[in-house]
């Protein structure tokens, strides 16, 4: 089949590449020239295990080609962003533009699939409403479905294949056709439901995680007040067969979990009370860490120098979107009296990518482990101790063994203890 994937971001590009490497011809459409140029050279614009190879092969075989506008195809797959507006509602303008862009080329019998995270009702009301302007009737002339992904950045290709999926059709025939299309590469179960249920399902999956992380964050705050180690509590509580506590950290980032729950809260603020509270607790975590830093640094005169390890929103990815570490750094800067130096070979934030940890830490008063990137596991604490001006370490991820840090003469502090 000929497919047209609109939006070649973190989901659209891997999805386009998977279809292209499994028997289809794919036109990948984007408005971003840099993404199109990179794809034209057979490269992915972001790093993700295995993605580079699939993109190189599918582009060199001309199974995946970049383009600025949709062309006639059998199926249109929309993977554009749904950012959050300042009032926490979903900005659906990218979806609207994407659907409008297919109006000139859409034909009877085509499939139109929305993958973008969207508030309940978007497929049935907005997408179908715009498609009707073509003179074709969704459900009979066009097969329309909401088909969200569930992939975890860092494991996108594997999870695209093996995760189960929910496919929400505007009618059963739409869902069945879309399921058949995805079956060319999806090995997980594909469950069929209606479009609005599938939209709510996607939002709740990420909300579940957000609420659980907020619970862990609250546990960390409680434990700090009571002098208990939250990480020990989580470790042993999770031995219970029906308990799965999540982990605290400096906040929740990324473009999904920190955003999606707002789409529910904004619609029903009086009803979605726990979801809203969880969002606010997670958003307050950078400030909680700031207060901890303030306490740890209270005896330092003059500018307090902090070396921050990791700036991305989570470990082993190069994505800075909604990173709570960047929010923490902004809070430190706004407060004044701090100078911050960052180290992160995955992403560039004020020179973080090129910096050597042992150079960066020179003269610092605090070493802050903000993101537990794999490469930070094996660091030479003695070398670090030798160049620091004050021997203080704050681990926000329970990543380093305290004995090892303290054996080097550093003082170890843990978020949630
Ligand atoms: N985090 C914690 N504590 C935890 C787990 C995560 O603080 O116990 C933080 C991370 O550090 C990060 C944030 O939460 O800042 C989100 O990271 P994540 O790994 O939980 O999730 P994402 O945003 O990378 O991907 C999520 C996934 N959703 C779920 O696990 C329910 C993924 O499956 C979705 O496909 C993706 O959102 C999406 O696109 O919606």
Number of domains within the chain: 2
Tell me, what's the pLDDT at 245? 98
| Distance, CA of 216 to CA of 282 (rounded, Å) | 10
Quote the pTM value.
0.94
pLDDT value of residue 368: 98
Do 340 and 256 sit in the same domain of this protein? yes
What residue's CA is closest to ligand 1, atom 32?
152
What are 208-225's pLDDT values in tens digits? 999 999 999 999 999 999
**Last residue of one domain, picked from the residues 196, 214, 240:** 196
Q: pLDDT digit string (tens) for 334-364? A: 999 999 999 999 999 999 999 999 999 999 9
Task: Give the CA count within 13 Å in the CB-facing half-sphere of 329.
Answer: 25
Q: Residue 193 is inside which H or E element, if any? A: strand 190-194
Inside any domain, residue 91: yes
Which of 363, 364, 375, 368 lies closest to 405 in space, CA to CA? 368
Q: In angstroms, what is the span from residue 257 Cα to ligand 1's centroid?
A: 6
217 inside domain = no
Examine residue 191 and state whether it is found in any structural domain, yes or no. Answer: yes
DSSP assignment of 108-141 equals: TT-EEEE-S---TTIIIIIIHHHHHTTTPPBTTT
pLDDT in tens, 238-293: 999 999 999 999 999 999 999 999 999 999 999 999 999 999 999 999 999 999 99
Same domain, 257 and 153: no
Same domain assignment for residues 114 and 237: no
Question: Among 151, 176, 196, where does a domain finish?
Answer: 196
Q: Mean pLDDT for each 10-residue chunk of the chain (417 residues)?
A: 97 98 98 97 94 98 97 98 94 98 98 97 98 98 97 94 98 98 98 98 98 98 98 98 98 96 96 98 98 96 97 95 97 96 97 97 98 97 97 98 98 98
Residue 221 domain-assigned (yes or no): no
**From the candidates 202, 292, 304, 314, which is the catalytic residue?**
202
Identify the residue whose C-alpha is closest to ligand 1 atom 10.
314
Chain position carrying tokens 């929010």: 327
DSSP code string of 24-81: -EEEEE-S-HHHHHHHHTT--SS--TTHHHHHHHHHHTTSEEEESS--S-SEEEE---
pLDDT of the residue at 254: 94
In the numeric block, the tokens 């036109």 are attached to: 27
**Max Cα-Cα span within the chain:** 74
Domain residue limits at 399: 230-417
DSSP 84-107: BPTTS-B--HHHHHHHHHHTTT--
Task: Say if residue 152 is in the same domain as residue 255.
Answer: no
Distance 322 CA to ligand 1 centre (A): 12
């Amino acid at each position: 089949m000929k497919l047209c994937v609109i939006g070649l971001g973190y989901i659209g590009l891997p999805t386009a590449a998977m279809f292209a490497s499994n028997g289809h011809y794919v036109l990948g459409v984007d408005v971003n020239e840099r993404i199109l140029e990179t794809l034209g050279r057979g490269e992915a614009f972001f790093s993700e295990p295995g993605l580079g190879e699939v993109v190189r092969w599918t582009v060199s075989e001309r199974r995946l080609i970049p383009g600025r506008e949709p062309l006639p195809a059998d199926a249109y797959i929309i993977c554009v962003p749904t950012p959050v507006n300042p009032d926490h509602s979903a900005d659906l303008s990218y979806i609207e533009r994407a659907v409008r862009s297919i109006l000139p080329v859409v034909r009877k019998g085509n499939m139109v699939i929305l993958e973008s995270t969207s508030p309940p009702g978007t497929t049935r009301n907005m997408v179908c409403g715009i498609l009707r302007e073509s003179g074709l009737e969704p459900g009979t002339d066009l097969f329309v479905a909401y088909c969200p992904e569930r992939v975890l950045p860092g494991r996108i290709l594997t999870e695209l294949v093996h995760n189960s999926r929910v496919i929400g059709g505007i009618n059963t025939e739409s869902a069945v056709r879309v399921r058949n299309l995805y079956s060319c590469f999806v090995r997980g179960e594909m469950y069929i439901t209606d479009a609005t249920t599938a939209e709510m399902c996607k939002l709740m999956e990420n909300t579940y995680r957000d609420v659980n992380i907020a619970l862990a964050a609250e546990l960390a705050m409680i434990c700090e007040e009571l002098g208990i180690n939250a990480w020990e509590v989580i470790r042993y509580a999770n031995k219970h067969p029906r308990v799965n506590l999540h982990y605290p950290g400096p906040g929740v980032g990324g473009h999904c979990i920190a955003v999606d729950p707002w789409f529910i809260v904004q619609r029903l603020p009086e009803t979605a009370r726990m979801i809203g509270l969880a969002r606010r607790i997670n958003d307050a975590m950078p400030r909680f860490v700031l207060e901890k830093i303030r306490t740890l640094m209270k005896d330092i005169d003059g500018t307090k120098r902090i070396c921050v390890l990791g700036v991305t929103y989570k470990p082993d990815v190069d994505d800075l979107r909604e990173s709570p570490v960047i929010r923490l750094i902004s809070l430190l800067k706004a407060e004044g009296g701090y100078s911050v130096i960052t180290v992160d070979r995955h992403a560039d934030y004020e020179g973080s990518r090129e910096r050597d940890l042992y150079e960066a830490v020179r003269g610092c008063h605090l070493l802050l482990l903000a993101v537990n990137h794999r490469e930070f596991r094996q660091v030479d604490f003695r070398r670090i101790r030798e160049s620091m001006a004050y021997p203080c370490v704050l681990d926000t991820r329970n990543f380093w063994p305290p004995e090892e840090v303290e054996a080097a003469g550093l003082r170890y502090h843990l978020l949630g203890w």
